[in-house]
């Protein structure tokens, strides 16, 4: 991680000298392509991985995983990356969180970022690399190793920068139907007091014409948070659709970048966490013993 950070710092310095304009932004990492509702979720990762190069799906304690998560804003990327972070004992680094932390800090970038975020646009490479470098510096000081990146890379240029400074083991691309995705984004709520994240949307898509249905239960807050829920300023239908449009233009090619390198695992979410988490673990050849014990209790 130290090598990655040093090289990112060099890139950041070069970006300061050469960047004169900002590309479009989105707070969350890449929005995703619409899942094929007729495709069955494959239990084995080998059928979902494109390319002949075998991928190190199991964690090697001598080499903590270096993974990237791609997926639409609201697809659940942060949820699953965070769970895997705890399971594999590596940091989950979400650039969306880094941006929001900067916004709340009233730092020099906060007013500029606020305007960009509220418009659903993409933050420049320079800003993202700046924030990521600072986060890696802090992690290095704490002795962190390995990582799961969530929100970086979002563009081909960022993917090429990352490819040049470290060896990414695996890129997990989470996919969800657009109608479910939109409902999830509009249902997101945060407790203004404790910061807990919830979702009030109850998604119940009926199967038709041979397509399977999908049910995603709401993630409701405890009673003491119910009256303190707020909606993020950028979770409006207009902004969410703009994020999707930007993804199709800018971020979807990142999938092809990793697909051509044989590092892309495509995973169609079949429903909510209870349905999706065990199947994602199966695709990654992992087991969550704590989850099994809690389910049996």
What is the Cβ-side half-sphere exposure of residue 85, based on CA atoms within 13 angstroms? 18
The helix (H) or strand (E) run that includes residue 271 is none
Token pair belonging to 12? 């950041």
Q: What is the pTM of this model?
A: 0.73
> What is the DSSP code (8-state) at residue 93?
E
Instruction: Per residue of the chain (297 residues), give pLDDT as tens.
Output: 665 665 566 555 544 543 333 332 222 233 333 333 333 333 333 334 443 344 444 445 457 899 999 988 788 899 999 999 999 999 999 988 898 888 888 777 888 888 887 777 778 888 888 888 888 888 888 988 889 999 899 889 999 988 887 889 999 999 998 889 999 989 999 999 998 989 999 999 988 877 788 999 999 999 999 999 999 888 889 988 888 888 778 888 999 999 999 999 999 999 999 999 999 999 999 998 776 644 443
Question: Contact, 246 vs 238, CB < 8 A?
Answer: no
The helix (H) or strand (E) run that includes residue 25 is none
Question: Contact, 193 vs 225, CB < 8 A?
Answer: yes
Residue 160's pLDDT is 92
Token pair belonging to 68? 């990237």
The phi, psi pair for 186, rounded to 5°, reads -75, -20
Q: How many CB atoms lie within 10 A of CB 9?
A: 16
Q: How far apart are CA 253 and CA 262, in angstroms?
A: 14
Bridge partners (DSSP) of residue 175 are 268
| Torsional sign, CA 128, 129, 135, 138 | negative
Residue 61's pLDDT is 46
Residue 256's pLDDT is 94
The phi, psi pair for 97, rounded to 5°, reads -65, -40
Residue 74's pLDDT is 80
Strands in 232-271 per DSSP E: 264-268
């Amino acid at each position: 991680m130290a090598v990655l950070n040093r090289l990112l710092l060099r890139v950041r310095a070069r970006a300061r000298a050469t960047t004169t304009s900002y590309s479009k932004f989105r707070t969350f990492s890449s929005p995703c392509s619409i899942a094929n509702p007729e495709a069955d979720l494959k239990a084995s990762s080998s059928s979902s991985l494109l390319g002949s190069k075998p991928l190190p799906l199991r964690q090697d304690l001598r080499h903590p995983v270096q993974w990237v998560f791609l997926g639409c804003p609201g697809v659940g990327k942060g949820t699953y990356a965070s769970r895997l972070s705890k399971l594999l004992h590596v940091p989950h680094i979400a650039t969306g969180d880094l941006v929001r932390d900067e916004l709340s800090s009233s730092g020099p970038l906060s007013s500029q970022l606020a305007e960009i975020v509220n418009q659903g646009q993409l933050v420049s490479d320079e800003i993202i690399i700046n924030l990521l470098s600072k986060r890696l510096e802090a992690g290095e000081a704490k002795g962190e190793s390995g990582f799961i990146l969530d929100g970086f890379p979002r563009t081909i240029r960022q993917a090429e920068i990352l490819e040049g400074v470290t060896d990414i083991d695996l890129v997990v691309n989470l996919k969800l139907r657009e109608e479910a995705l939109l409902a999830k984004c509009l249902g997101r709520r945060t407790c203004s007091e404790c910061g807990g994240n919830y979702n009030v949307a109850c998604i119940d898509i009926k199967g038709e014409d041979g397509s399977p249905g999908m049910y995603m239960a709401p993630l409701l807050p405890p009673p003491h948070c119910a009256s303190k829920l707020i909606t993020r300023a950028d979770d409006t239908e207009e902004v969410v659709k703009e994020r999707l449009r930007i993804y199709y233009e800018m971020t979807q090619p990142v999938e092809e970048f990793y697909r051509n390198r044989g590092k892309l695992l495509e995973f169609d979410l079949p429903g909510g966490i209870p349905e999706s988490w065990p199947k994602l673990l199966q695709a990654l050849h992992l087991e969550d013993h704590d989850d099994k014990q809690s389910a049996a209790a």
